[in-house]
Structures are given as C-alpha cells and as structure tokens.
Amino acid sequence: MSDTTSRTQSATIERERPSAATGGVGTSLVHKDPAGDRGRTSISDIVVAKIAGIATREIDGVQDVGGAAERVVGRVREALPGATTSTTQGIAVEVGERQAAVDVSIVADYGVAIHQLAAAIRRNVITAIEQMTGLEVTEVNVTVHDIRFEDDDEGVDETPRVQ
C-alpha cells in the first residue's frame, strides 16, 4: 500500500485494556493512524459518559439526571465542601471498537411531551458523541424515572388555607 493511500484512509480504532498507566480503571479506545508514524489518540469510557451527561442536561425539559438513588447520592455530594455535581450521574455507556451505546436516566419536567423529550435527548447525545469522538452511536436508551412539578422543590406550605 502506498503512503498516499494510507494517509487518505480513515484511522482504525482498537480496544486497549486497562493498564497501570491508566490506574487500571475503565477502558479506553485507541485511534491508530494507518501510517503508524503520526501517533494515536486514546478516549476513555468516562469521557464518552461525560459527553452524554452534558448533552442530556442541555435539553429543556430535563429536570435532573439519574434514578432516585443516584440523585440522593448526588445531593449528598453537592452538600460536601469543594465537591461538584457528577456529569456522569444517570449515564451508562458501552463502548466498543467503533461504536457506543448509551443509557440515560432522567427526571422530566411535568407538562413536557416525554416522547419528544426522549427524541431530543437522543439527537443531542448522538450528535455530541459522534462529533467529539468519531464513534458511531448505535443506540441511546432513555428511561424516565419521575416527573417533577414546579412546586416540588419549594417545600410544603404548612399554613392553613382560607376557603
């Protein structure tokens, strides 16, 4: 194969196993240049999950991300000084050599058409992951765990009402 041909072909992607260099945690993708002399790019699974989490939160109508237990842990984490919200809360990814699948768990705002909300989440997650990583997203599964009313976060008014 000539150098010109190899340079015009797209890079191949191979799975890299966890190593001591990455702390043995998670896995990553390795994009190899066919010419072999221009380096490679590794993308960790956590990166794909963060992209999906941010893309999900960008959609109007998503009140929160994660199931009940994840949201409780998230609130505890936010209460700790110096801690931040986890961008991967409620997101699970399976990343293969060239493809990724994503599971998203959300709480929706009351009054939002859930089927349209799920479609918007899918579009945004797919676009973000494919543009940023080059992976093909095969599916985005959306689970709606709850709906939130506007007054859910305001607390209960204990004052008697006059009728």
User: Could you read off the pLDDT of 71-86 as tens digits, one per residue?
Assistant: 555 566 566 676 666 7
**Domains with residue ranges and CATH for the chain:** 44-149 (3.30.70.1350)
According to DSSP, residue 108 is labeled: E
pLDDT of residue 103: 96
Contact assessment for residue 116 and residue 122, using Cβ atoms and an 8 Å cutoff: no
pLDDT band at residue 87 using 50, 70 and 90 as cut-offs: confident
pLDDT of residue 28: 57
Number of Cβ within a 10 Å radius of residue 34: 16
pLDDT of residue 111: 95
pLDDT of residue 16: 45
User: Could you read off the pLDDT of 91-150 as tens digits, one per residue?
Assistant: 999 998 889 999 999 999 999 999 999 999 999 999 999 999 999 999 999 999 999 988
Q: What DSSP string runs through 124-139?
A: HHHHHHHHHH--EEEE
pLDDT of residue 72: 58
Q: What is the dihedral of CA 96, 92, 59, 150, to 10 degrees?
A: 170
Contact assessment for residue 118 and residue 157, using Cβ atoms and an 8 Å cutoff: no
pLDDT beyond 60 at 24? no
Q: What is the rounded distance in angstroms from the CA atom of residue 125 to the CA atom of residue 55?
A: 5
Q: What is the rounded distance in angstroms from the CA atom of residue 139 to the CA atom of residue 125?
A: 10
User: Could you read off the pLDDT of 34-62 as tens digits, one per residue?
Assistant: 555 678 777 789 999 999 999 999 999 99
Strands 40-44 and 99-109: unpaired
Q: Is the pTM of this model over 0.75?
A: no
